[in-house]
Structure 1
Amino acid sequence: MTHHSPLRAVAVFCGSSFGDSPAYADAARLVGRTLAERGTTLVYGGGSVGLMGTVADAALEAGGEVVGVIPRALHERELTHTGCTEVLVVESMHERKAIMAERADAFLTLPGGAGTLEEVAEQWTWAQLSIHDKRSGFLDVEGFWQPLRTLRDQMVERGFVRPTQGDIVTFDDDLDRLLDALAAAPTWTDKWDRPRVAPPV
C-alpha cells in the first residue's frame, strides 16, 4: 500500500455528550493518546465537554499538540477547552469545518450525533468533488457505525455513490489499522470530469 508521509494532523469529529457506554470515552482517550504518541496533531471542535473534551484531554496528557476550532457563540458560552495548544475562534459552523478541513490530513469519527454525522458527511462530499483528496474514517466502537456502513454500501449498490467514492470512507474497530488506512494515498480522484470548487467559508 502506498502511504503519504505520516499523518501530520487528524481532525476528530465526535459527540459533545458521552453516550450510553463507557466504551465511547475509552475510545476517545485511546484516539487522543495514540495521535500524540504518533506525533500527529489533533484538530477538533475546541470543546471541553463530552467526548470532545475527553479526546483533547488525552492528547494533551500524552504531550500532543491540540488545535481547537470553535465558533464564537460556543466560545462565549465558556465551552472552549482552555488547555489547547492553539484555539481558533471562528464566526460560524461553516468556517469551523472549512478550517478543520484545511488543517487536517484526514478525518476520524468517533460516536456522536447529528452534528458529528454532518461534519464527516461534508468531508466525504468534498473529497467526492475533488475539493480535497483526504480520507474519512469511522472508529466503529461497539458496532456504533455499522448502520452507516450498511447505508454506504447501499448508496453504492443503488448507484448514488461510485464504488471508488465509497472507498473514501473506511470503517474499522481497530484504531491503528484505521489510522494506517487514513494515511493511504487517495484512490478515488477523478478530477478530469469534476470541476474543482472552493469549499464554502
Structure 2
Amino acid sequence: MKLENIVIYCGSHFGAELSYASFAGELAEAIAKSGRTITYGGGTVGLMGIVADAAMAAGGKVIGVIPEVFILKEQAHRGITELIEVPDMVERKKIMIGSGHAFIALPGGPGTLEEFSDTISHLRIYGEGKRPPVIIANVDGFYDPLLSLINAWEEEGFMEEGDRDNIFICSSVDEIMKVISDHEI
C-alpha cells in the first residue's frame, strides 16, 4: 500500500533559523512530486504557509484542517486543494490523525509538540497491526531536547517495548522520503 496521505505538523511561526523554512519547503516539494497528498493545519502563516505554498507550486494536493479561531484571524489558506473548517483543535487533530498514513513533525512550538504527542498516544492506544511512521524532522538539532525526553521515557519505563518502533528521527528530506517509501507494501 502506498502511503498516500502525509500529515505534517509544523509551526505557525518561521522560527529563528532560516533552515527551518528552507527544510519545510524542500520537504513539501518532495512529497508533492512523489504524488502524495499533504494534510496540514490549514494556515497561511509561518512554516504552515511555506509547506502549503511549496507543495501547491510543485503541483501537489494539499488538504488543510483549520479551526474556526484561525479562520476568524484570517489565517485560513484559501489557495490549497481543500480546506476543511472545524470548530476546534480537538476536531482538527481527530481528522488529521484519522486520515494520516505517515506523520511528520517539523520544527514548531507547543501546538506542534501537542499534535506529535497526541499522535503517538493515539497510535499506542488504538493502533492495530503495523503502525504508521511518525517522523521527527530534527532540522539542525532542533528536536535534540525532545529526543532526550523520549530516551528517558524508554529508560524509565514509560514507553512499552515496541512503542518506539514507529518513531523515526531524520535530519534530511532524503531520509524522510526513504522512511516513507520503506513503509509501503
Q: Which interval holds the TM-score relative to the shorter structure?
A: over 0.9
User: What residue in structure 2 maps to residue 196 of structure 1?
Assistant: none
1:19 aligns with 2:9: no
User: What residue in structure 2 maps to residue 169 of structure 1?
Assistant: 167
User: What residue in structure 1 maps to residue 92 of structure 2?
Assistant: 96
User: What residue in structure 1 maps to residue 145 of structure 2?
Assistant: 147
Query: Mapping of 1:19-58 within 5 angstroms?
Result: 19-58=15-54
Q: Secondary structure at the match of 1:69?
A: strand
1:178 aligns with 2:176: yes
Identical amino acids, percent of aligned pairs: 37
CA offsets, 1:35-65, max 9 Å, x none? Answer: 1111010100000000000010000000000
Unaligned runs of 5+ in 2: none
Checking the alignment, whether the CA contact within 8 Å between 2:139 and 2:171 is kept in structure 1 is yes
Checking the alignment, whether the CA contact within 8 Å between 2:170 and 2:176 is kept in structure 1 is yes
Q: CA separation in 1, counterparts of 2:157 and 2:73?
A: 44
Checking the alignment, whether the CA contact within 8 Å between 2:3 and 2:183 is kept in structure 1 is no
1:71 aligns with 2:70: no
State the TM-score, normalized to the length of structure 1.
0.86
Matched residue type, 1:180: K
Q: CA deviation at 1:130?
A: 2.5
Aligned residues, how many? 182
State the TM-score, normalized to the length of structure 2.
0.93
Pick closer, same or farther for the CA change 1:139–1:46 going to 2, 3 Å: same
User: What residue in structure 2 maps to residue 157 of structure 1?
Assistant: 155
CA RMSD of aligned residues (A): 1.5
CA offsets, 1:103-161, max 9 Å, x none? Answer: 22111010000000000110001111134632211111000011111111111111110
Matched residue type, 1:13: Y
Matched residue type, 1:64: G
Matched residue type, 1:48: T
Matched residue type, 1:114: P
User: What residue in structure 2 maps to residue 120 of structure 1?
Assistant: 116
Q: CA separation in 1, counterparts of 2:182 and 2:116?
A: 18
Q: CA deviation at 1:102?
A: 1.8
More deviation in 132-141 or 61-70? 132-141
Checking the alignment, whether the CA contact within 8 Å between 2:68 and 2:88 is kept in structure 1 is yes
Matched residue type, 2:146: L
Unaligned runs of 5+ in 1: 187-201
Q: CA deviation at 1:184?
A: 4.5
Q: Secondary structure at the match of 2:71?
A: helix
User: What residue in structure 2 maps to residue 135 of structure 1?
Assistant: 133
